[in-house]
Amino acid sequence: MQSMDRESFYAFLWSWIATVVRNAATPGPTLIGLSAPQGAGKTTLTERLCRIAAEDGLRGVSLSIDDFYLTHQAQLELARHHPENPYLQHRGYPGTHDVDLGLQVLQSLKNIGSQGSVPIPSYDRSALGGLGDRRPRREWPIARAPLDFVLLEGWMLGFTTLPSDGLTDPNLRVINEYVRPYASWHALLDAFIWLEAEDPRFMLDWRVEAEKNARAAGRGGMTTEQVTAFAARFLPAYLAYLPQLAIRPPITGPMLTVMIGRDRLPKNR
C-alpha cells in the first residue's frame, strides 16, 4: 500500500466499501463492521465515509457499540456482581454492553425496507458526573430508509472467545465468557474492516492526545496521568484478543485489514 494522506485514506476505504455495497447479493442495507483501537478516530472516520457516500449517490448511517452500553443502573449491578474484577467496574469491556439491544437494532436496520425508520440508542458519557448513562428514548436519533449500508464501529468489535487455558489472568477469563454473546452481532455483518495498529500501545498516546484536545477546547477532560491509567486497563484485552482477530476473522464475508501507524494512517506494506 502506497503512502497516503488522510483524504486519500478515506477515499481508499470508501472505494472498498462502495464495491462491497454495490456487489451485495442480499436485500437490505449492507452491514459493515469497523474495528480499530480507542483513539484511532473511528467516529470521525465513519461520519466522513457517510458524507463521501452521499456524494457518490449511496446512503448510509454509522453507529458505535458505545451507544449500546448498559444503563448506569445495570452497570452498577454488573460491577457489584464482580466486585474483584477491575475490568467490569466501569463501561468499556465486553460485558458492559446490552448485547440484546444491539442485536435488535442491527436486525431492525437490516430489515428497514424502503420506508422504515429505526431509533438508534444514544449514550451520554457526560451524564452523572462522567459516569455515563443511556439517553432517554425520546432523544435517540432516527435512521430512516432508504439505506444502502450501515457502519458499526467499536474498539473490541470482532473479538471472539479464546481457549480459557491460555488466559493467565482470572479476571480476563470472566471477560472471555462475556465475549461469547457478541457473536450474534458478527453473524449479521456482511463485511468487516480492521484498522490494525502497528503497536496496540499507540492507543495510550491517542487517548492522551484526545484528552489534551478536549481540555484545550474547554470541554474538560482527564489529566494525562488519569487518562493513561484509564486507557492502560484495556491493554490486556488488546494483547489477548488481537492476535486471534488476525487468524480467525469474525465473519466469512469480505474483510479488509489495514495496518496503521502512530499517525493513524496506513503503513507501507
- Condensed to tens digits (0 to 9), the pLDDT of residues 48-100 reads 999 999 999 999 999 999 999 999 999 999 999 999 999 999 999 999 999 99
What's the pTM?
0.93
Task: Provide mean pLDDT across the span 160-180.
Answer: 95
Task: Report, in this order, helix, strand and coil percent for the chain, each rounded to 5.
Answer: 45, 15, 40
Q: Is the pLDDT of residue 142 over 70?
A: yes
Domain-embedded: residue 41? yes
- Condensed to tens digits (0 to 9), the pLDDT of residues 23-57 reads 998 889 999 999 999 989 999 999 999 999 999 99
Task: Provide mean pLDDT across the span 99-107.
Answer: 98
- Condensed to tens digits (0 to 9), the pLDDT of residues 210-230 reads 777 766 776 656 677 877 888
**Mean pLDDT of all residues belonging to the chain:** 92
Domain-embedded: residue 48? yes
Domain-embedded: residue 151? yes
The domain spanning residue 101 has which CATH number? Answer: 3.40.50.300
Domain-embedded: residue 264? no
> What are the residues facing 197 on neighbouring strands?
260
Give percent above pLDDT 70 in the chain.
Answer: 96
Q: Residue 3: what pLDDT? A: 66
**What are φ and ψ of residue 13, in 5° steps?**
-65, -40
* Number of domains forming the structure of the chain: 1
216 vs 148, which has greater pLDDT? 148
Confidence of residue 6 (pLDDT cuts 50, 70, 90): very high
125 vs 102, which has greater pLDDT? 102
- The answer to whether the beta carbons of residues 72 and 131 sit under 8 Å apart is yes
Cell numbers standing for residue 112: 428497514
Structural element, H or E, at residue 154: strand 149-154
How many Å apart are CA 184 and CA 97, to the nearest integer? 13
241: nearest Cα among 166, 187, 152, 190: 166
Domain-embedded: residue 265? no
Give the range of the structural domain holding residue 117, as residue numbers without chain letter.
6-259
53: nearest Cα among 11, 110, 105: 11
Confidence of residue 150 (pLDDT cuts 50, 70, 90): very high
Q: Residue 26: what pLDDT? A: 83
Domain-embedded: residue 90? yes
Give percent above pLDDT 90 in the chain.
Answer: 78
Confidence of residue 166 (pLDDT cuts 50, 70, 90): confident
Domain-embedded: residue 268? no
Domain-embedded: residue 43? yes
